[in-house]
């Protein structure tokens, strides 16, 4: 079966919580239900929900969380964010993340977004490779941290 051909993309809703928690646990090996509950609740309270779900035969197999905002970090334009992307390991390497990201980018473009930001840990090679393959490059901002 070709997962990509059978894939449907739709807007993420709060009822996707269980499926997202399950995929996240498959990827990271820990159950982060509380974290996702809070995250989806925050997302739900926003007027712009642009996050997406990928389904194959009505089963949730991936998600991409995005956001749109302006004037943050002194950036004077409408900017888009890719917050998190996750594909069920069984369905990885089939082009699903690429399809999800293209759809999100198309939707952000329609909202007037010209630049999309994302943050990736230096150790997440799959994500770094994926964003590289999508055409993302190193931006001008640098990440600062203070251990306390």
CB of 125 to ligand COA, least distance (A): 6
CA–CA separation, 99 vs 103, rounded Å? 6
CB of 38 to ligand COA, least distance (A): 15
> Would you say 39 or 69 has its CB closer to ligand COA?
39
Q: Which helix (H) or strand (E) holds 100?
A: helix 96-110
CB of 116 to ligand COA, least distance (A): 15
> Would you say 96 or 113 has its CB closer to ligand COA?
96
List the one residue out of 138, 93, 89, 104 whose CA is nearest residue 12. 104
Catalog residues that contact ligand COA under the rule CB under 6 A.
24, 27-28, 84-87, 92-98, 124, 126-127, 129-130, 133
CB of 66 to ligand COA, least distance (A): 14
> Would you say 77 or 124 has its CB closer to ligand COA?
124
List the one residue out of 66, 38, 41, 42 whose CA is nearest residue 52. 66
Helix/strand/coil for 63: strand
Question: 88 is written with which tokens?
Answer: 């069920």
In angstroms, how far is CA 3 from the centroid of its own chain?
A: 19
> Would you say 29 or 76 has its CB closer to ligand COA?
29
């Amino acid at each position: 079966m070709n997962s990509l051909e059978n894939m449907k993309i739709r807007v993420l809703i709060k009822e996707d919580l269980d499926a997202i928690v399950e995929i996240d646990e498959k990827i990271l090996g820990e159950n982060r239900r509380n974290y996702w509950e809070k995250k989806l609740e925050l997302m739900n309270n926003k007027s712009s929900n642009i996050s997406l779900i990928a389904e194959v035969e009505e089963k949730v197999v991936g998600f991409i969380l995005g956001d749109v905002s302006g004037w943050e970090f002194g950036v004077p334009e409408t900017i888009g964010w890719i917050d998190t992307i996750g594909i069920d390991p069984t369905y990885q390497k089939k082009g699903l993340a690429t399809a999800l990201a293209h759809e999100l980018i198309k939707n952000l473009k329609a909202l007037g977004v010209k630049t999309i930001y994302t943050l990736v840990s230096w150790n997440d090679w799959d994500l770094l490779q994926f964003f590289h393959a999508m055409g993302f490059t190193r931006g001008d901002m640098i990440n600062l941290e203070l251990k306390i």
